Amino acid sequence: FSPAAYARARDDADVPQDVIDSGHVRYHSLDELFPRAGLGDAWDTCAALRRDCRRALREDLAAQRERQGTSAEPLSPAAEAAMRALSSSLMLRWDAAAEEYEHLGAALARHGIAGVSGGDFMHTLGAMCGGEVTSGTLIDISSIALARKKAPHSWHQDSGLRQRTVLLGFPIEDAYDGAGVFTHVVKLSNELSPNPGRSRGAIVEWERFDADGNGSSPPPIAEQHVLRPRYRRGQEVVSYVDAYTLHSAPDHIHREALWRFM
């Protein structure tokens, strides 16, 4: 195994765009995904919009549970409060019916985003996932509680399948330009075979990866192989193929949250 090095240490500012867009890691613009809606500018300049979208997602999840009635497992008051708190991460489906995202659509409308319903927003981003399998899940990964200066990378794959993961960044400040928002990525030279006794589709932890089945540890990931995707206006969304990459939370986190569509 030999990771293909195509990134510098701090960010990818010096990496040719055709290398980044080779199919492994791609940048996407909200303005391209939602033309003439004004979403790119609003997302870049309005922390209130970004925060309101996160609150609305929690309201939509609560409304979905209420509609499920007795089929939904009841939550304790503490669990209900945690579900609604922006400091907590949560998971729901992005592929539900469009009307399931009424609060998200209302949040966008309050901030002047024209012609983009909550369903449009979720389904457009989710539809980018594609590949061998699509789980239909969205995780709001809260980073408010991760006010750490630096942490070691923990390289892994979510499934090892040829599935495109889509990330929407929530920077911690307006007009942000830099790393620390998106997941860090290492491009692989080839797909990884599952450890002996494991099947494709399970989480792959690089520290425990055993390519030869002899119990040996893999080599550490050298710094020159680490891509720190750069968040900025016009690069609000990043996607990568799980089978062709390893990824980790940033060593330096500079975000309020990250939405991960799979």
Does residue 10 sit within a domain?
A: no
| Average pLDDT for 151-156 | 82
| Average pLDDT for 44-58 | 97
For the chain, the domain total comes to 1
pLDDT at residue 210, rounded to an integer? 62
Does residue 11 sit within a domain?
A: no
The residue to which tokens 């509680």 are assigned: 145
Q: Would you tell me the crossing angle of helices 102-110 and 47-68 to the nearest 10 degrees?
A: 160
Percentage with pLDDT > 70 across the chain: 79
pLDDT at residue 52, rounded to an integer? 98
More confident residue, 14 or 87: 87
pLDDT one-digit tens code per residue, 85-110: 888 899 999 999 999 999 999 999 99
Does residue 1 sit within a domain?
A: no
Q: What is the DSSP letter of 114?
A: T
Does residue 146 sit within a domain?
A: yes
Confidence of residue 15 (pLDDT cuts 50, 70, 90): very low
pLDDT at residue 148, rounded to an integer? 57
Range of the domain at 122: 17-261
pLDDT at residue 17, rounded to an integer? 42
pLDDT at residue 18 above 60?
no
Does residue 77 sit within a domain?
A: yes
CB atoms < 10 A from the CB of 236, how many?
25
Does residue 142 sit within a domain?
A: yes
Confidence of residue 200 (pLDDT cuts 50, 70, 90): confident
Does residue 158 sit within a domain?
A: yes
pLDDT at residue 154, rounded to an integer? 83
Does residue 74 sit within a domain?
A: yes
CB atoms < 10 A from the CB of 200, how many?
15
Can you say whether the dihedral through the CA atoms of 71, 74, 80, 83 is positive or negative?
Answer: negative
pLDDT at residue 238 above 80?
yes
